[in-house]
Structure 1
């Protein structure tokens, strides 16, 4: 039986992998959700899967005024702002700040992120040097940190590179990306300073896709997330940006990185 507290610090685009991890672990656990503005897409998914959770205020938890049970296995979910991706350097600084704030308050941390434009380059080495609490992140079997949210469901960087070679010049759509496409697009670094172009976000996106000769969007069905609306949201995306929709062959999809991050993070806790 596992004893201790695991923190899951997550990007909303990778919350489906986090839910997958929770659902596929049969061990009894308490789930605590830190209430903030970044949980709007997560809460319906938790409820859809009948995952019981205790809602606690983020600020109260960080101030230490909320007690996490010290017996048995507890998970604290802390959702981050998707908008941090608009500036990879700021993303890296923000995640380091939050890890510092939670250091010593939990027994291990699973960081549901990739490198994200190299904003988190060197993050694990920094954690080992700066924190008492062990931290892990999405990695392939070779130990390389996953590049981004597309790399994760492919099982790592090597398969990601193969995918780029097999399907060059396409937009990739996972369930979380498609079903949160407005927020996802708003978070992208490429839209910084867009007001100077005189274009709307969609106009600029179409311009960039045309410039790069993108003609397709590739549906990457992980089997996770909002399956009920995934197809229609993919269709909305391609209609919105004048693309055609393709579906990635199922044999490309892997839960390897999701299984690995959770297993390693849980190993930080006591049996």
Structure 2
């Protein structure tokens, strides 16, 4: 769900020498986005990456995208994140996880890896607390998230960023709204039961995903939602990335 934000951060960072993407079923999206943004990328299997050291004295970014459906099972999400972090620590100078609390299953990951020589970080608020989730991250943090929710005056709103808009059918299944991503009636019933009335459109300004505006319109039409325009704030993400780089240097 952070493909766009990662692409943006790398596109803005002139100090990056090499970008390597771990090849898997989830890697094609960010590979294509980075390539279209003019960033040279190299794709490697995990085995190749672990067995062939990267160039010294260069700033190499390795990106591994995990399956977004992991959110449906918190224990599986934690197991996958921890397993892949352990695999990458021996060849990394630092690992920054683009996750939030995710049901608190990742709340202790920095402490759990504190004895590793490779520092492991997770997305943080400016006050040092872990961000809530991918929506809070693009709104600027927990307080901005809370202020936005309060502005809805008690009426439910479903947030759509460009990545959420591109994947909302699959994410509704992962979130337990329905067992069939095409069962709109079941999802509409759940939305009505929990009091959703709006779609909160968070236009990050990224153009990496096609037809964002049309997809939000389609979502609103399908569920009879009003569209509320919510401004993004990417300062927290940019600061977190910058702070982690400074810590490594």
Aligned to 1:254: 233
1:209 is aligned to 2:191: yes
Aligned to 2:222: 240
Residue 201 (structure 1) shift: 4.3
Aligned to 1:59: 47
Which structure 2 residues correspond to residues 159-238 of structure 1 after superposition, within 5 A? 159-167=144-152, 168-188=155-175, 190-191=176-177, 194=179, 201-226=183-208, 228-238=210-220
- Secondary structure of 1:103's counterpart equals helix
Aligned to 1:140: 125
Which structure 2 residues correspond to residues 78-157 of structure 1 after superposition, within 5 A? 78-129=64-115, 131-157=116-142
Aligned to 1:41: 29
Aligned to 2:242: 263
Which structure 2 residues correspond to residues 63-78 of structure 1 after superposition, within 5 A? 64-78=50-64
Q: Deviations over 1:6-55 (max 9, x none)?
A: xxxxxxx1111111111111224101111100123212211220111111
Which structure 2 residues correspond to residues 3-18 of structure 1 after superposition, within 5 A? 13-18=1-6
Aligned to 2:18: 30
Cα distance in 2 between the residues matched to 1:113 and 1:202 = 28
Using the TM superposition, name which of 66-75 and 171-180 deviates more: 66-75
Cα distance in 2 between the residues matched to 1:41 and 1:19 = 10
Cα distance in 2 between the residues matched to 1:171 and 1:191 = 12
Cα distance in 2 between the residues matched to 1:20 and 1:200 = 31
**8 A contact 1:179–1:226 mirrored in 2:** no
CA distance change for structure 1 residues 247 and 24 in 2, over 3 Å: closer, same or farther? same
CA distance change for structure 1 residues 179 and 92 in 2, over 3 Å: closer, same or farther? same
**8 A contact 1:144–1:157 mirrored in 2:** no
**8 A contact 1:172–1:219 mirrored in 2:** yes
Cα distance in 2 between the residues matched to 1:227 and 1:106 = 30
Q: Deviations over 1:44-96 (max 9, x none)?
A: 211220111111112332xx223311231111011111111101222112211
Cα distance in 2 between the residues matched to 1:173 and 1:28 = 30
Cα distance in 2 between the residues matched to 1:135 and 1:255 = 22
> Which blocks of at least 5 consecutive residues in structure 1 are unaligned?
1-12
In the alignment of these two chains, the number of paired residues is: 247
